[in-house]
Amino acid sequence: MSKKLAIHGGTPVKTNPFPVWPQYDDSEKEALLGVLESNVWWRTPGTRTLQFERDFAAYHGARHGIACTNGTAALEIVMSALDIGLGDEVIVPDYTFVATASAVLYAGALPVLVDIDPGTYCIDPDRVEEAITPRTKAIIAVHVAGHPADMDRLQEIAAKHKLILVEDCAHAHGSEWNGQRMGTFGAAGTFSFQQSKLMTAGEGGIIVTNDDALEIRLRSVHDCGRMPGEWFYDHFINGSNYRLSEWQGAVLSQQLARLDTQAVTRSRNAAILNRDLARIEGITPQVLDERCTRNGHYCYIFHHDPAAFGGLPTAEFIDAFNAEGIPTQASYPPVRKLDLFQSGEYLKRLSPEHRLEPHDFLTAELPVSDRAAAETVWLVHRTLLGTDDDMAEIVQAVVKIQEHAQELVPA
C-alpha cells in the first residue's frame, strides 16, 4: 500500500472497481421486450405492474401494494388517503430526505421535526412523545440506511395517543424488525425505486398496506379519484395520476427476484465492516439493534470523530476517502435547516392559524441530527456487493487516512 495519500498524488488503496449499480441481466431485457411487443405499455389494461404489486406486497407480508411514480409520490398519496390536511401536524425526523417533510406540507399539514436516536439515526421515540399536541395526527418513521426505527415504542406511542403510524421505507427493502418486514407495522409503508435504491427502475415507488379500506382510497388517489368497478370517467375523490408504467413494473419484477441474494451479500459484508471498522479509534458504525433481524443496507453509515483524526473535519476525511477509491454519498442535512424552512417558504402550504404561530423546531437544538449530518460517512450500497478483499481495502483506506491525518488538517 502506498504510504502517500492518493489525494496528494499517491496510489489509491482501491484500484479495481466495486460492483456497478444498477445491476441487470437478460431477464430485464426480455421483460422489456415483452412489454414492447405486447403493445400494452399502459398500467391500466396491463398485467405486469399489477403482478409486481402483488409480489412485492407478499414479499413484505402485506395484503396490498399500490405502485406509483416515485417514493415522494407514495408519501403524498398516503397523506391524501389518510385525510391529513390543513391544521394537522405530523411528527417527522429532522434527519431524512426532504420528501418525508414535503409530502406533509403538500397535504397542507405541518411537519414537526424532532431529533433522532444517536445509535441508529432513526427517529427518537422519546422526542416523538414530547412533540405530540392536540393537532398531531400522525407519525412518520424513517428507516435510515435500511435499519428500522424502534417500531415497538412507536407503535405503543401511536396506540396510546390514537395517532396514525406511517413508515418511510425508501431505504428498507426487505429489512425486518423482530422477523417482520418493514412497511407492515403502521397504516401504510412507502418505498422508492429511484436509481440509487436497493431495487430500481430508474424511478418508481410503491405503497404497501394491510388495511383493505385504506387500499381502496390509496388506489383511488393514485388513479385520478376512480373507484374499483366504476365507470372510467367517474371520479369520486380528489386524486391525481400517479400510476407506474408497464415498463417499470416489468423491470421491478426482475429486480425483486434477485433482492434476497444481494441482501445476503450486503449483510455479510456489513458484518465484516462492523467488526473491523469498530477497531479503529474514532470510527463508530451505525448501531445494529438486536431486534433488527435484517437490515437491507441502502448504504453503510459510520460516524467519524474528527478528534481521533487530529482534528480532521469529516468533509476533508470524505474527500481523502473518495480519492483512495472508496465511493460515498452525501449525508442528509438537517431538514429544519433547509432553505424551504429557514426562508419561511414552507408557510405557504399551511393553514392561517399554523402560519401565524411560532414553530419551535426551526430554532430548536437537535444535537444528534446536527452531529449525524456533520460527522457521518455514507458508503454507497454497491460497495457492500463486493468481496472480502474489497471490505479489507475500505478498512485500509480509513487506517491510511488516520495515519496521515495531520497532512490533511487545515492550517
d(CA 117, CA 138): 19
Which residues are within 8 A (CB) of 246 and not within 5 positions of it... i.e. 6 or more apart?
35, 38, 40, 41, 42, 43, 46, 48, 49
d(CA 50, CA 44): 9
Tell which residue, 161, 165, 164, has the closest CA to residue 183: 165
Say if residues 223 and 216 touch (Cβ distance below 8 Å): no
Q: What are phi and psi of 202, to 5 degrees?
A: 85, -55
Say if residues 227 and 12 touch (Cβ distance below 8 Å): no
Q: Which of 88, 168, 276, 289 is catalytic?
A: 168
d(CA 151, CA 407): 44
Q: Which of 137, 219, 226, 304 is catalytic?
A: 226
Tell which residue, 251, 222, 255, has the closest CA to residue 67: 222
The three cell numbers locating residue 405: 491525518
d(CA 128, CA 158): 10
**Quick check: is 51 catalytic?**
no
**Quick check: is 275 catalytic?**
no
Q: Which of 97, 193, 298, 317 is catalytic?
A: 97
Q: Which of 197, 222, 297, 304 is catalytic?
A: 197
Tell which residue, 389, 411, 308, 367, has the closest CA to residue 19: 389
**Quick check: is 381 catalytic?**
no
**Quick check: is 304 catalytic?**
no
Q: Which of 43, 60, 143, 171 is catalytic?
A: 171
d(CA 394, CA 306): 18
Q: Which of 194, 258, 355, 396 is catalytic?
A: 194
Q: Which of 143, 147, 173, 243 is catalytic?
A: 243
Query: Residues 86, 89, 92, CA angle at the centre, nearest 5°?
Result: 130
Beta bridge partners of 90: 111, 138
**Quick check: is 168 catalytic?**
yes
**Quick check: is 88 catalytic?**
no
Q: Which of 212, 233, 339, 348 is catalytic?
A: 233
Burial class (CB in 10 A: 0-12, 13-18, 19+), 8: exposed
Q: Is 95 helix (H, G, I), strand (E, B) or coil?
A: coil
- Give the per-residue SS3 of 100-157: HHHHHHHCCCEEEEECECCCCCCECHHHHHHHCCCCEEEEEEECHHHCCCCHHHHHHH
Say if residues 155 and 161 touch (Cβ distance below 8 Å): no
**Quick check: is 173 catalytic?**
no
**Quick check: is 155 catalytic?**
no
Q: What are phi and psi of 349, to 5 degrees?
A: -90, -10
* Residues with active-site annotation: 97, 168, 171, 194, 197, 226, 233, 243
